[in-house]
Amino acid sequence: MARVYNFSAGPSMLPESVLKKAQSELLEYGSSGQSVMEMSHRSSVYDAIIRDVESSLRRVLAIPENYKVGFFQGGASTQFAMVPLNLMTTGKADYIVTGNFSKKAAEEAAKFGEARIVASSKDRNFTYIPDVKAIDYSKDASYLHICENNTIFGTRYAELPQVEGVPLVADMSSCILSRPTDVSKYGLLYFGVQKNVAPAGMAVAVVREDLLGRAAESVPTMLNYKTIIDADSMYNTPPCWCIYMMGLVLHYIEDEVGGLAQMEKRNNEKAALLYDYLDSQEFFTNPVEKKYRSVMNVTFTSPSPELDKKFCAQAEQAGLVNLKGHRLVGGMRASIYNAMPRAGVEKLVEFMREFERENG
């Protein structure tokens, strides 16, 4: 079979040019005589790689000087614990719950202090984002936590909450690098890399430097942001291959796409293909309030669970894979991250039209 269009919510597609580059130098990186997978992380050749990845990320995301970058293991799920363990100095934090992962983040924080759920969109099965201007935030919260794009429910914040004196912490796993980001609006942002950045196995945190060094002595060394960041993510052996792959993706964004503004344009166009089609017919339904529709994850249902199942099976035969929706939502979900080509979305829309015609 040829390569398929993979609509997985993550891990997900990587740009084919990135995979080809990785393949071409898999046995020997440059003139090092080694695979990146074999290199000592303390060697000068690997040091050049990790430094380039950090500086590329800083350039692409336009990270201000007073923010530090760290590469961590354990995915966003480990960040759910690291955020309160490092930042919850008042013993309290505010959480907005807009889906499964923001709920998990709040539950994890409740192990370490008071995690107050200040707003939730659970009442309508997370099909919208609460009005961030109408929320009664805590004045003494150590931070306010959000999940900026909700992979399972296909929503995203249209506007960021900003509470004076309270750092905003955001899980950006499923939207990072999809468009320009004003990092200065966040105290800390983090993301698992397996959706838009690299193969699974790493989370990256970007932390305003005044928020570092607040963890208690009893916090596990590896869960202390400062430990890892002070050691330039080399406190212990980092996930070297994952970091290298992230570098290839960042170079792809810079050199092939032309940066995040161009990336956003491409992504908006891809999402519009799908949403415009969805809005033009009545066979498939997208439940999300238009204002909050995710550009990365597009959910939709056909008239019945049986037809949903048939849709996914036939789509797979047509080379459109992993379209099954999350069990919490049902139906279908098309995750159209950075690396999904426009042609993949066009093919999906064409397939949907055909399916509608045959089954409508």
Binding site feature residues:
42, 76-77, 101, 151, 171, 194, 236-237
SS3 content of the chain, % helix, strand, coil (to 5): 40, 15, 45
Residue 16 interacting with its own copies (CB under 8 A): yes
Residue 343 interacting with its own copies (CB under 8 A): no
Residues 230/29, Cβ–Cβ less than 8 Å:
no
Residue 278 interacting with its own copies (CB under 8 A): no
Site string for its own copies, 302-321 (x = CB under 8 A): -----------------x-x
Residues 156/183, Cβ–Cβ less than 8 Å:
no
Among 158, 200, 273, 349, binds its own copies (CB under 8 A): 200
* Residue 66 exposure: Cα atoms within 13 Å on the Cβ side: 8
Q: Which residues 6+ apart lie within 8 Å of 226 measured at CB?
A: 86, 212, 213, 215
Cis geometry, peptide bond prior to residue 11 (ω within 30 degrees of 0): yes
User: Considering CB under 8 A, how many residues would be counted as binding its own copies?
Assistant: 67
Instruction: Show the 3-state SS of 82-102.
Output: HHHHHHCCCCEEEEEECCHHH
Least Å distance between CB 49 and its own copies? 12
Which is closer to its own copies, CB of 235 or CB of 283? 235
Least Å distance between CB 249 and its own copies? 11
Residue 184 interacting with its own copies (CB under 8 A): no
Which is closer to its own copies, CB of 35 or CB of 262? 35
Sole residue written with tokens 């159209």: 336
Helix (H) or strand (E) holding 75: helix 75-87
Map residue 315 onto helix, strand or coil.
helix
How is residue 229 written in tokens?
């960041």
- Read off the amino acid at residue 261: A
Which is closer to its own copies, CB of 256 or CB of 279? 256
Closest CA to 97 of 134, 78, 125: 125
Residue 17 interacting with its own copies (CB under 8 A): no
Among 33, 91, 213, 330, binds its own copies (CB under 8 A): 33
Among 158, 223, 318, 349, binds its own copies (CB under 8 A): 223
Site string for its own copies, 55-94 (x = CB under 8 A): ------------------xxxxxx-xx---x---------
Which is closer to its own copies, CB of 85 or CB of 348? 85
User: For residue 120, what are the CA distances in angstroms to 37, 157, 291?
Assistant: 43, 13, 17
Residue 10 interacting with its own copies (CB under 8 A): yes
Residues 233/66, Cβ–Cβ less than 8 Å:
no
Which is closer to its own copies, CB of 25 or CB of 264? 25
Helix (H) or strand (E) holding 131: none
Residue 113 interacting with its own copies (CB under 8 A): no
Residue 40 interacting with its own copies (CB under 8 A): yes
Residue 108 interacting with its own copies (CB under 8 A): yes
Distance of CA 234 to the CA centre of its chain: 23
Interface ranges with its own copies (CB under 8 A): 1-4, 6, 8-14, 16, 19-20, 22-23, 26-28, 31-35, 37-41, 43, 73-78, 80-81, 85, 108, 111-112, 192, 194, 199-202, 217-218, 220-223, 235-242, 245, 319, 321-322
